[in-house]
Amino acid sequence: VAKIDFFYEFASTYSYPAAMRIDDLALDYDVEVNWRPFLLGPIFKAQGWETSPFNIYPDKGRYMIRDLERLCEALGLPPFKMPKTFPAHSILPARVALCFTGEMRAAFTRETYNAAFAHGADISDAKVIEKVLKGLGEAAAKIFEKVNTQPVKDALRAETEAAQKLKIFGAPAFVTEDGELFWGNDRLEAAMEWAARD
């Protein structure tokens, strides 16, 4: 079965609809999704950005919120809600996600995005993540024991470096097995089509 790498950043607004849509599309196209959380911060820093481009360019930022409102409505998602702090520090949820594999990682990711962009919660807050974990029926304490250990830290660093090596400059990004890169929620269908035709 064809595979696709789904690179996402927990602070990224456009990664949110992609995370909500990708599993249905993967079924349609018969493609297997590898969920790969990474950090955009180091990549933005290398581009000379200290924050999100949506903060650096206010017209773009205002437009993004309106665009997400329209997108969420069209997709039947809850009304889009911008968190007070944007972009969120996403190291905690990214590390937690890497403590899971397979469907649990996908479920944790979706619930965390829901907390961030349907409820405006601060996903850098351990209490918010704990609540998400409890909702998934996980022994939250167990995950929190693991989350700041060296292997988990190293895993996240490795994913961010992998993204950099693939020339990823934004999120979400999709990479097919033959190395084709697609950027943005708007390219999810094109990426699936490419992956499936291999």
Assess 57 for contact with a second copy (CB under 8 A): yes
Q: Is 146 in the site for a second copy (CB under 8 A)?
A: no
- Binding flags for a second copy, 103-142, as an x/- string (CB under 8 A): ----------------------------------------
Q: Given candidates 45, 66, 142, 157, which one binds a second copy under the rule CB under 8 A?
A: 66
**Is there a contact between 172 and 11 (Cβ–Cβ < 8 Å)?**
no
Tell me how far, at minimum, the Cβ of 74 lies from a second copy, in Å: 7
User: Interface with a second copy includes 167 (CB under 8 A)?
Assistant: yes
- Token pair 């609540």 is found at 131
Binding of residue 70 to a second copy (CB under 8 A) = yes
Binding-site size for a second copy (CB under 8 A) equals 21
Nearer to a second copy, 56 or 158 (CB): 56
- Decide whether 29 or 169 has the Cβ nearer to a second copy: 169
CB 11 within 8 A of CB 181: no
Residue 3 within binding range of a second copy, rule CB under 8 A: no
Distances from the Cα of 6 to the Cαs of 31, 126, 140, 175, in angstroms? 12, 25, 25, 7
Using CA atoms, how far residue 181 sits from 53, 75, 131, 177, in Å, is: 21, 24, 34, 10
Assess 190 for contact with a second copy (CB under 8 A): yes
173: nearest Cα among 25, 45, 54, 15: 15
Phi and psi angles of residue 4, each rounded to the nearest 5 degrees, phi first = -140, 140
Smallest distance from the beta carbon of 166 to a second copy, in angstroms?
10
With CA atoms as reference, report the closest residue to 98 among 55, 56, 44, 159.
159
If binding is defined by CB under 8 A, does position 62 make contact with a second copy?
A: yes
Which strands, in side-by-side order, build the sheet including 173-176? Answer: 31-37, 2-8, 173-176, 181-183
Chain residues in the site for a second copy (CB under 8 A): 47, 57, 59-60, 62-63, 66-67, 70, 74, 167-170, 181-184, 186-187, 190
